[in-house]
Structure 1
Amino acid sequence: MMHTATPWRASSLRSRASAALTMLCALAAVSFQSGGSPAAAPIAVAVADFDYFDTSGEVADQSAEHRARVASFAALLRDHLAAQGNYRVVPIECPDQPCTATSMSQDVFIAASRKAGARLVIYGGIRKMRTLVQWGEVQLLDLEAEKLLMQRTVTFRGDNDAAYRHAADFVSDQLKETMPKP
Structure 2
Amino acid sequence: MMRLIIFAVLALLLPMAATADGVAIFPVKLLDTSKEARDQTAEHERRLGILSEVLQEELDGAVTITGETLAECQPETTECLLELARDTGSDQAVFVVVQKTSTLILQVFANLVDVETGELIASRDLNFRGDNDEAWRRAGRFLAKQLRGAGD
Bin for the TM-score computed over the shorter chain:
0.7 to 0.9
Native 8 Å contact 1:81 1:172 kept in 2: yes
Equivalent position of 1:59 in the other structure: 37
Quote the Cα distance in structure 1 between the aligned partners of 2:133 and 2:53.
13
The answer to whether residue 133 in structure 2 is matched with residue 161 in structure 1 is yes
Equivalent position of 2:6 in the other structure: none
Describe the shift of the 1:175–1:102 C-alpha distance in structure 2 as closer, same or farther (beyond 3 A): farther
The answer to whether residue 111 in structure 2 is matched with residue 133 in structure 1 is no
- Offset, 1:91: 3.6
Q: 1 or 2 for the larger relative contact order (CA 8 Å, sep ≥6)?
A: 2
- Please report the TM-score for the alignment, with normalisation by the length of structure 1: 0.66
Find 1:105's aligned residue among 62, 71, 77. 77
- Offset, 1:43: 2.5
Query: 1:4-47: CA deviations, max 9, x gaps?
Result: xxxxxxxxxxxxxxxxxxxxxxxxxx9xx99xxxxxxx821111
Once the two structures are superposed, the pairs formed by residues 29-178 of structure 1 within 5 Å of their partners are: 43-82=21-60, 88-92=61-65, 95=68, 104-178=76-150
Count of aligned positions: 136
Query: 1:126-148: CA deviations, max 9, x gaps?
Result: 01001111011001001234321
Question: Residue 141 of structure 1 aligns to which amino acid in structure 2?
Answer: V
SS of residue matched to 1:118 = coil
- Please report the TM-score for the alignment, with normalisation by the length of structure 2: 0.78
Superposition RMSD on alpha carbons, in Å? 2.8
Native 8 Å contact 1:128 1:134 kept in 2: yes
- Offset, 1:169: 1.2
Quote the Cα distance in structure 2 between the aligned partners of 1:131 and 1:63.
14
Describe the shift of the 1:55–1:161 C-alpha distance in structure 2 as closer, same or farther (beyond 3 A): same
Quote the Cα distance in structure 2 between the aligned partners of 1:76 and 1:103.
28
- Offset, 1:96: 5.9
Describe the shift of the 1:102–1:69 C-alpha distance in structure 2 as closer, same or farther (beyond 3 A): farther
Native 8 Å contact 1:138 1:151 kept in 2: yes
Identical positions, percent? 29
Structure 2: where are the runs of 5+ without partners? 1-8, 14-19
Greater Rg over alpha carbons, structure: 1
